[in-house]
Amino acid sequence: TCDGVLKQPDGSIVSPVLMWVKAMDLLLEHIRSRIAVKSIRCIGGGAQQHGTVYWATGASKRLANLSSESTLHDGLGQAAFALPLSPIWMDSSTEKQCQAMEKAVDGKEVRFLRLMYCAN
């Protein structure tokens, strides 16, 4: 990747799903090296805006079989995810479709689309 993203020939911009998983492994290892993991009741957080990861059918079995003896990356692997690459907020490959939708509607809908999402 370059700065965590891959620019595809079709204009889409994506990130490898396993990059996110490995980042979680690093974060969890960092936490584990500083506090007693058994004292953790909940973890919440937010980071990359609009990065999307899709679970594959059967991923719940992989999640149920995770072990504290291995990393998420090793325990889940690519098979837990429907796609190897995740669409991210920088992607504009659907810009033409968004512009066509804006053109196809009028009145309040156009104002709404322009306020909520601008295809430019």
Cα angle: 20, vertex 26, 28; to 5 degrees? 100
Domain boundaries in the chain?
A: 6-89, 92-120
Beta bridge partners of 85: 16
Whether 47 contacts 15, CB under 8 Å: no
Record the tokens describing residue 102, joined without a space: 């804006």
Give the span between the Cα atoms of 85 and 18, in whole angstroms. Answer: 8
Q: How far apart (Å, rounded) are the C-alpha atoms in residues 57 and 100?
A: 33
Q: Give the global pTM.
A: 0.70
- For the stretch 46-101, pLDDT in tens is 765 678 889 999 999 999 999 988 999 999 999 999 999 998 888 888 888 877 87
Estimate the share of the chain in helix, then strand, then coil, as percent rounded to the nearest 5.
45, 10, 45
